[in-house]
Chains A and B, each alone.
Chain A
Amino acid sequence: MVTINPPDFSSRLILDNNHHQLALLGKWVQDFANRCRLSEQSSFNLALVLTEAVTNVMDHAGQLEGKIEVSCRLQHGCILAEIIDEGAPFDSTVYKPALIPEKLEDATPGGLGIHLMRSYANDMQYRRENDCNILRLSLPI
């Protein structure tokens, strides 16, 4: 795990494609939130969105041997986050939101992650560039 902290409200984290690295992601988000003096709510929301986004990469990127790059910065009253990976093409923005069933008996556990990302982020943009998936998220501060 490599953390890069330029002398402004931005930070970059490089992760291996390994679910155990999600613990490091949580600590990195907390560190970023502390440096930027984000509210507990903003910190939680950012941690949740990035956890879901990075988990999706790890689950859907196929045999990803490269790294997963996560970056955050503050800009224009928003938190801008970007996740870059070299895995198989995967665009989470095209998935339909999970339908909430009326009864517990009808509930299926899938689809919650992307639904949470869409709910907490006020913008999600995907592009494929140089054989990389690039997901950009914007969250309110």
Chain B
Amino acid sequence: MEITSELINPITTRIRLNGRLDMIGSGEIELRFTALAATDSSNVIVDMGRVEFIASIGMRLLLTCAKAKKLRGGKLILVNLHTLVKEALETAGIDTLIPIETDEESALIALQK
């Protein structure tokens, strides 16, 4: 699992994930992802375009970071989800807790609201 990040604007970071969000993949990125996504009040857009699979442990990582981000006054939004990954998140009810947008542009608009 690979993770990269880029500051889009002074208060928003894009995190790109590449690989499988299963136990191994989640373990590989957990520390860095948490540090990027959950430790301050800035907003985070998580680009899931290259995430081909997600298991419950991956969902737990997203949920934990989204919760921590919200407690710090920021927002975490998921974008570019593959259909099957999105369906899995919807099945788990995660979509009612973590905002999902079609793409980065939509996410940036949502963050302005």
Contacts and interface: CB of A to CB of B under 8 A. Distances in A.
A47 B55 CA distance: 9
B63 interface: yes
Assign chain B's interface to a size class.
20 to 34
Assign chain A's interface to a size class.
20 to 34
Q: Name the prevailing secondary structure of the A interface residues.
A: helix
A49 B7 CA distance: 36
A102 B96 CA distance: 8
Q: Name the prevailing secondary structure of the B interface residues.
A: helix
B3 interface: no
A16 to B, nearest CB: 15
Given A113-B56, A116-B92, A107 B84 contact: no
A113 B55 CA distance: 8
A115 B92 CA distance: 7
Contacts of A120: 91
B10 interface: no
Contacts of A69: none
Interface stretch (B20-28, B38-46, B103-111): B20-28
Contacts of B71: 105
Contacts of B59: 109, 112
